[in-house]
Each structure stands twice: as C-alpha cells, then as structure tokens.
Structure 1
C-alpha cells in the first residue's frame, strides 16, 4: 500500500506538470505515433517487393509488429531511465534518492514516468486487431489470459535487460554507448526471427532475448504448432532476466560512493 500510494502521488504530480504544458504532451504523443508509423510504412514497403518474408505474409508481420508495440509502450512508460547516468550519477541526484525510505529503483521509476508512451501500446492493440481480422485468427477462451501473461513476460525482459545495463553506471560514469546499441538490437524482435542467420537468432533467443518481446509471443496466436512451445517460455525468460537485472542493480547500489564535492 505504501508503494501504491507513492505511485498515485507521483502520477498526480505528473498530471499537474503536463496540464501546465499541454502542448508538449501532445507533441510528444504525436512524435511517438509518427515514429511508429514510419516503422509500419517500412514493413509495407518491404512487401511491395516480396509476397513473403521468411515464409510470413504481410498481415502476419504487421501482427507481429503490433504485438511488439504493446509491451514496449508499457516498458517505456515505467522504465524511462535513458538519462540515468547524467542526471543521477554525474549530477549527484542519486544521493538524494538514497536518503529516502522507499526503494531507490522504485523512486527512479516514479520520477521518470512517461505515460505518453502508452499511446504506442494503444496503437499496437489496434494494429493487432486489424491484422488479426485480416488473418481471420481463431482465438480460444484462454487466449486473452495468455496474451496478458506474454505481455507481462515481455515487459520483465525489457526491464531486466535495461536495468542491468543502466546499473553499469554505478561502476563507470563514462558514456559506453551500450544502451543505444541495445535499443537497435531490440528492434530485431519486431520481425520473424527465422529471417536472420543462426548467430542473430541465438542472440535474440538466449543473450538479449528480444525475440520474446515480439515474434515468439505473436507467433503463438498464428502458428501454435510451429512456435507455440517457444512462446510459452516468455514469462520464464522474463523472470530470469528481471532477477538478473535487479541483482546487478542492487549490487551496483552497494558500490555507489556518492557524487563527492
């Protein structure tokens, strides 16, 4: 209840800031939608030159992309830690966070809430609905629950990977360029994994498992016999990587020595 009440208070403060500068909020939403729209247009352009991509039709790839947007929008809302090193390590704001009774990572999540990113989740659901209707997908009664389970697993994968990478800042405040690189790698998960070579496929499944944030869960609803068993590992992979990320983060906090004078 304590952490839930903190979320409510921080969200109120977020709304107050956004109501003061409403145009900034809508510009941010619009820019996110335009970016996602460009990615969708790229997929459509690819299918102007080929009827299938690794054996997958245009509607199927669009469905995968729509699913990819759903967990990513939620992740971006709650794990907006891109400027962590500059703000909290270099400028010393981590000292302020550590003097408060709430868990430090939870405070960082609340301080950097970005609900505007949820627009991507809404658009992703719309794209999935449209593509699913074109594919005439036959869903079972338990599929909404599986969708929720896969989405939670995908968010945990995102969170685990990026929390682990962000925690590197506790050991070195020098820009590493790892986060932009990982952001580029994650985008591979919005396409069918079988179109890549064995090395990339291995990375997307076991090292940086972004195949589980888009392709594998989406394939469950389109080809259960071929890919369903892999998709069922999504929540397990999510738990493993989130645990690793939190472990590295907590260890990094113990190594933090303050900003100094």
Structure 2
C-alpha cells in the first residue's frame, strides 16, 4: 500500500510539472507520433513490393506492430533508465537513493518515469483496431484479460532486459553504449520471427526474448495457432526475466560502495 501511495504522489507531481510546460509536452508527443508513423510507413513500403512476408499479410504485420507499441509504451513510461550508469553510478546519485527506506529500483523508476509515453499505447490500440477491421477479426470476452496479461508480460520482458543491463553499472562504472545497441535489437521483436534465420530466431526467443513483446502474443489474437504455445508463454517469460533482473540488481546494490570509491 505504501508503494502505491508513493507512486500516486510521484505521478501527480510529475503531471503538474509537465503541465507547466505544455509546449514541450506537445512537441514531445508529436515527435513520438512521428517516429511511430515512420515505422508504420516502413511496413507499408515493404508490402508495396510483396503481398506476403513468410506467410504474414500486410494487415497482420501492422496488427503486430500495433500490439508491440502497447507493452513498449508501458516500458518507456516506467523504465526510462537509459542513462542509469552515467547519472546514478558515475555521478553518484545512487548514494542518495540508498539513504531512503524504499527499494532502490522502485525509486529509480519513480524518478525516471515519463507518463506521456503511455500515449504510444493508445496509438498501438488504434493501429490494432484498424488492422482488426481489415482482417475481420472477432474477439471474445476472455481476449481482454488475455490481452492485458500478455501486454504486462511483454512489458516485463523489456523491463527485465534493460534493468539487467543497467545493473552492470554496479560492477563497471565506465560509460557504456550497450543500451542503444540493445534498443535497436529490440526493434526486431516488431516483426515475424520466421523471417529471420534460426540463430536470430533463437536469440529473440530465449536469449533476448523481444519476440515475446510483439510477434508471439500478437499471433494469438491473429489466430495463428502454430504460435499459440509461445503466445501463452509470454507472461511466464516476463516474470522470469524481470525477477532475474531484480535479483541481479539486488546483488549489484550489495556490491555498490559509493561514488567516492
């Protein structure tokens, strides 16, 4: 309950701060929408030269991209830790975090959240709705809770991977460019995994499971029965990877000796 109250207070203060600078907020939202539009245009350009992509139609890939945007929006809103190493380790702000009786990762999440990123989830829902109409998809009542569970699982997969990467800073205080690299690799999870070779497919499924953010859970709603086992495994992968990330983080915190050392 205390954590929920803290989150509500931080979120309230965050929105007050953002609304003080509405121009910056609007520009940021528009830039995010333009970035999403560019990715959508890329899909349309690809299908301008082919009718199918390894058995996936244009509308199915568009639906998949829309689904991907929803868990990615949750991740972007609450795990904005790209600069964790530089800000909290190199510059010593972790010392301040550890003086408070709240889990350190939760504090970092609160300090770095960007709630406006949740708009990307709305964009994803609109794209999914458009693709669903084109495909003539019919959904049942139980698809709603399944959608929420799979979205949460996908967000936790992303969060687990990047929290694990951030935790490396506890062992190495040197600035690293691995975060942007991993972000680029994560983009592969937007597209059907069977268009890649077996090595990349294995990597995206079991090593860096970005496929569980987009293609696998989306395949259930697209009624691709051959991918159902992977789709229903999405929340499990999310819990496993995020739990592992928290354990790595906790070990890193135990090792941390302060900015002066």
| TM-score, normalization by structure 1 | 0.98
Q: Is the 8 A contact 2:90 2:174 kept in 1?
A: no
- The C-alpha deviation readout for 1:207-260, integer Å capped at 9, x for no partner, is 000010000000111134211122010011111101110110000001111011
Q: In 2, distance between residues paired with 1:168 and 1:225?
A: 39
Q: Provide the C-alpha distance between the structure 1 equivalents of 2:193 and 2:19, rounded to a whole number of angstroms.
A: 42
2:26 equivalent to 1:19:
no
**C-alpha deviation, 1:140, in angstroms:** 2.1
Query: For residue 49 of structure 1, what is the aligned residue in structure 2?
Result: 49
Aligned mates of 1:109, 1:193 — CA distance in 2: 31
Aligned to 1:3: 3
Residue pairs, 1:231-242, within 5 angstroms: 231-242=231-242
Shift of 1:175: 2.3
Q: Is the 8 A contact 2:86 2:175 kept in 1?
A: no
Residue in structure 1 matched with residue 215 of structure 2 by the alignment? 215
Q: Could you tell me which residue of structure 2 aligns to residue 159 of structure 1?
A: 159
Alignment partner, residue 136 of structure 1: 136
1:173 matched residue in structure 2: 173
Match of 1:197 in 2: 197
Decide which moves more: 108-117 or 222-231: 222-231
State the 1:178 CA deviation: 1.5
Question: How many angstroms does 1:139 deviate by?
Answer: 1.6
SS at match of 1:130: helix
The one-character-per-residue Cα deviations of 1:62-121 (angstroms, maximum 9, x if unpaired) are 000000000000110001111111111111111001001111111111111101111110
Gaps of 5+ in 2: none
Moved more, 213-222 or 176-185: 176-185
What is the CA deviation profile of residues 174-215 of structure 1, one whole-angstrom value per residue up to 9, with x for unaligned ones? 123211111111100100111000000000000000010000
- TM-score normalised per structure 2: 0.98
Q: By how many angstroms is 1:15 displaced?
A: 1.6
What are the within-5 Å matches in structure 2 for residues 24-43 of structure 1? 24-43=24-43
* Residue matched to 2:145: 145
Which 4+ stretches in 1 moved above 3 angstroms?
A: none
Structure 1 residue 141 displacement after superposition: 2.2
Distance 2:140 2:3 in 1: 36
* Match of residue 61 from structure 1: 61
Aligned equivalent of 1:182? 182
Q: Which moved more, 1:46-55 or 1:170-179?
A: 170-179
CA RMSD of aligned residues (A): 1.0
Bigger CA drift: 201-210 or 132-141?
132-141
Which residue in the other structure is 2:260 paired with?
260
- What CA distance in whole angstroms lies between the structure 1 residues aligned with 2:35 and 2:243? 31
Partner residue in 2 for 1:115: 115
Change (3 A) 1:85 1:133: same
Greater alpha carbon shift after TM alignment, 99-108 vs 136-145:
136-145
- Structure 1 unmatched ranges of 5 or more: none
Q: Which residue of 2 aligns with 1:82?
A: 82
